[in-house]
Amino acid sequence: MSPGVERRQVGMVRAGVDVGPTNTDAALLDDAGRVLATVKVASVPDDPVACVRAALGALPPHESAQVAVGLRGAATAVTRRRGLRRVAVLRISGESGRAVRPLSGWPEDLRAAVSAGTATVAGGGGLDREDWTPLDRDAVARFAASAAGAAEAVAVTGLFSPLDGRQEREAAEIIRAEAGDLPISLSAELGSIGLLERENATVLDAALSGFAGAVAEGLAETLSGLCPGAAVFVTRGDGTLMSLEHLARHPGLSLGSGPASVLRGAGVLAGLHDAVVADVGAARVRVGVLAGGFPEEAVRGAGIGGVPVGLRIPGLIRVPRPIDPAELAEAVDRLQPGPARLPLVVVGGGAHAVPGGLHPAHGLCAGAIGAAVSPVGGQYERIVRLPGAAAREAVAEEARAAAVRAGADPRDVALVEVDETPLDYLPGSFVRLRARAAGRPSHL
């Protein structure tokens, strides 16, 4: 328990938990965001639910209106190649998408742990609806029949689903009819434009469905007894939260959530919306950027377990320990946005090893505090031709709806970001519209 914190009864509060590989941190905050208590306990190997139970049990007696949990187990499962379901991978593209096969470039051991077979079927095929090829329903049915005995989950990716995801949904209906109640991940629901990165993210989302389902069920059962009446959320890689039900549907969104929570917590503790953050752990220092209160995502795409993925994950530079001051300074310099330098905030269990920068109080538990203060989020991304006001509002509304599905209060959801990027490599005036929304949890 943190020095000076007494085990006294506190009122209705928010609790945040950050489950790490070595230690699990927890924090209590009041409605104004003031830190009431923090604790650090030893993690229980391979049992995140037990970690949460132990950390919350070490806090002063309290009644929580909300518990937000930062889970790093999804990334650990991918990195260690453990606890992953075998996935049948379907690509809808026809001949235009056969140049590079699904799972190409994956590390051999990860592909062996996950793949239950791949197939590419005709469908999609144009930037305009009149140029599209009908989905080869018979080929999808044959794929589903072969997957029924070999796969534990299915990933479906359409080459042109950033334009229109209807063929992915049509394929999912066929697969359910042929293969039964297998978990199915659709790339159109995860966003991102690039085919391979989006497909990789969808496959990992499906592979993690068993892990996520077990954790969601375990947390719901444990916290209903430990914190009765509290709404339970988990962190996601873009620095927001989602409900346990959303985690079970889209476990891939939890990838990168540990660093994201630390970045947000560091900013809150330092009173900053924009900063470079150094999270000093036992083996390495992870350096990232907080921009507008949210983690800045990887510029050239993110990678998990040696696989590039189209997910919103913080862009990080890793510096090994023992720390070379010159190497750390170079990492901080590389992440500065320009001549006007951002302050450096240093947090984590090894923060004492970095003498410079801001060292906020409670920085040892920045991840738990970041989880406790984060909003519930949603995002939406589409390619459109000649976007007008109606198209922009439609994408914004889809982002708001995604936040509500993740557990945000529909009365409180607001747009966080709207981005419009011309796609000069496509013929015609196509742009990528991307929107993010966030709001308070629905129960608060």
Is residue 289 within 8 A of residue 341, CB to CB? The reply is: no
* Bridge partner list, 234: 69, 242
Q: How far apart are CA 313 and CA 302, in angstroms?
A: 6
pLDDT for position 282: 86
Report the 3 state secondary structure along 131-162. Answer: HCECCCHHHHHHHHHHHCCCCCEEEEEECCCC
pLDDT at 85 over 80: yes
pLDDT for position 8: 43
User: Lowest-confidence range among 71-75, 206-210, 211-215, 253-257?
Assistant: 71-75
pLDDT for position 427: 75
Is residue 195 within 8 A of residue 187, CB to CB? The reply is: no
Mean pLDDT for all residues in the chain: 91
The single residue listed with the structure tokens 């042929």 is 178
pLDDT for position 98: 82
Task: Please name the amino acid found at residue 20.
Answer: G
Q: How far apart are CA 27 and CA 38, in angstroms?
A: 4
Is 0.85 topped by the overall pTM? yes
pLDDT at 2 over 60: no
Q: In 3D, which of 335, 342, 339 has the Cα closest to residue 273? A: 342
Q: How far apart are CA 67 and CA 52, in angstroms?
A: 10
pLDDT for position 293: 94
Structure tokens at 391: 């198209």
Phi, psi of 144 (to 5 degrees): -65, -40
Q: What is the DSSP string of 89-128?
A: EEEE-GGGG-SS-TTTT--HHHHHHHEEEEEEE--B--SS
117: left (phi over 0), alpha (psi -120 to 50) or beta: left
Give whole-number Cα distances, 422 to 106, 111, 383, 429, in Å. Answer: 30, 34, 10, 8
User: How many CB atoms lie under 10 A from the CB of residue 108?
Assistant: 8
126 confidence band (pLDDT: 50, 70, 90): low
Q: How far apart are CA 442 and CA 444, in angstroms?
A: 6
207 confidence band (pLDDT: 50, 70, 90): very high
Task: Please name the amino acid found at residue 9.
Answer: Q
Q: What is the pLDDT of residues 337-390, one digit of tens each?
A: 888 899 999 999 999 999 999 999 999 999 999 999 999 999 998 888 877 888
Q: What is the pLDDT of residues 4-13, one digit of tens each?
A: 344 444 556 8
Q: How far apart are CA 291 and CA 311, in angstroms?
A: 18
Q: In 3D, which of 231, 256, 258, 236 has the Cα closest to residue 247? A: 236
Mean pLDDT over residues 217-230, rounded?
93
Q: What is the pLDDT of residues 136-192, one digit of tens each?
A: 999 999 999 999 989 999 999 999 888 888 999 999 999 999 999 899 999 999 867
Q: What is the pLDDT of residues 249-282, one digit of tens each?
A: 999 999 999 999 999 999 999 999 999 999 999 8
Q: How far apart are CA 203 and CA 190, in angstroms?
A: 11
Which of the 8 DSSP states describes residue 52? H
Q: Can you count the helices (H) and strands (E) in the chain?
A: 12, 20
Please state whether beta strands 307-309 and 302-304 pair in parallel, antiparallel, or not at all (unpaired). Answer: antiparallel
pLDDT for position 5: 45
Please report which helix (H) or strand (E) contains residue 309, including its range. strand 307-309
Please state whether beta strands 376-385 and 344-347 pair in parallel, antiparallel, or not at all (unpaired). Answer: unpaired
